[in-house]
């Protein structure tokens, strides 16, 4: 089961980090809204689930940061002779930190929109037995102390159909 979670997390992170992923989506949003958004490097898209407080203490975090992780796996054996045939519940958590509260919420919304834009254009066969049919849910968190002073996050959740082995 851990192999399935890792494979899907790595695939999602790879799709977000591709030139046609978040970088292209953020460029389009910045152009549309006539604002400046930070460029995203592959070191800001991490396939791990780590609390904000722990991330701050353990390693230098470059904001905005996108954490990709598998929240749950459901092997419902739709294909009887496969090792895993079911759904992977995925999450992309966007965290933005700023020294001022102004525009923090708007930035979080824009970065979450960039993630959903990538998902919208990535529907279909992802290879390796993974298929994304579309659909997601976005939950915005409240502002907390953290990062460079204030931190806010948004969590985009979605399901990927998986059929392996």
Q: HEC profile for 150-162?
A: EEEEEEEEEEEEE
Cα separation of 150 and 87, whole Å?
A: 35
What does pLDDT average to in each consecutive run of 10 residues of the chain (165 residues)?
90 96 96 92 88 68 92 90 93 92 93 98 95 97 82 96 91
Predicted pLDDT at 109:
97
Cβ atoms within 10 Å, residue 101? 11
Predicted pLDDT at 165:
82
Cα separation of 107 and 88, whole Å?
A: 28
Q: Average pLDDT of the chain?
A: 91
Predicted pLDDT at 31:
95
Predicted pLDDT at 77:
87
Predicted pLDDT at 20:
94
What is the model's pTM? 0.92
Predicted pLDDT at 61:
79
Share above pLDDT 90 across residues of the chain, in percent, rounded to a whole number: 71
């Amino acid at each position: 089961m851990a192999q399935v979670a890792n494979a899907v997390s790595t695939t999602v992170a790879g799709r977000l980090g591709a030139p046609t992923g978040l970088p292209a989506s953020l460029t389009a949003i910045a152009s549309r809204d006539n604002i400046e958004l930070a460029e995203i490097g592959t070191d800001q898209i991490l396939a791990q689930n780590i609390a904000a407080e722990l991330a701050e203490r353990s390693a230098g975090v470059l904001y905005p940061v996108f954490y990709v992780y598998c929240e749950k796996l459901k092997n419902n054996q739709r294909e009887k002779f496969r090792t895993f045939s079911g759904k992977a519940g995925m999450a992309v958590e966007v965290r933005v930190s700023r020294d001022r509260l102004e525009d923090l919420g708007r930035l979080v919304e824009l970065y979450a929109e960039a993630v959903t834009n990538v998902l919208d254009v990535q529907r279909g066969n992802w290879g390796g037995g993974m298929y994304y049919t579309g659909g997601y849910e976005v939950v915005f968190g409240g502002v907390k102390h953290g990062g460079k002073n204030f931190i806010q996050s948004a969590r985009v959740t979605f399901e990927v159909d998986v059929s392996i082995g």
